[in-house]
């Protein structure tokens, strides 16, 4: 853990002020798989919108999904719902 620019503690690898805020107002979602182009979405995001974003980024060669940023384990109920839904769509 490290002291972030916004005065909150955060991960040593967090590279943006948004990633270092405890309750950011927005999250960045890549507009296309591998595009490195991002759009801002309101945070927190409801499950339906989160899953729609995952579906839009899914490619035929997708083999795994990493849940990072904002420490997913701080949101155990949401994380469980994400995992259960993704397993059903497998």
**Is the full-model pTM beyond 0.85?**
no
pLDDT at residue 28, rounded to an integer: 84
Tell me the β-bridge partners of 39: 29
Ordered per-residue pLDDT tens for the chain, 90 residues: 444 444 445 555 555 665 566 677 888 888 988 888 999 999 888 999 999 999 998 988 888 888 876 677 778 899 999 999 999 986
> Is the Cα dihedral 7, 9, 15, 21 positive or negative?
negative
> What are the helix (H) ranges across 25-88?
47-57, 76-88
């Amino acid at each position: 853990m490290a002291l972030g620019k916004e005065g909150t503690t955060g991960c040593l690898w967090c590279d943006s002020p948004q990633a270092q805020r405890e309750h950011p107002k927005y999250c960045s979602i890549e507009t296309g798989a591998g595009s490195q182009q991002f759009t801002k979405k309101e945070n927190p995001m409801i499950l339906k919108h989160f899953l729609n974003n995952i579906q839009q980024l899914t490619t035929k060669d997708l083999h795994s999904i990493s849940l990072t940023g904002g420490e997913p384990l701080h949101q155990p109920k949401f994380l469980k719902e994400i995992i259960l839904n993704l397993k059903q769509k497998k």
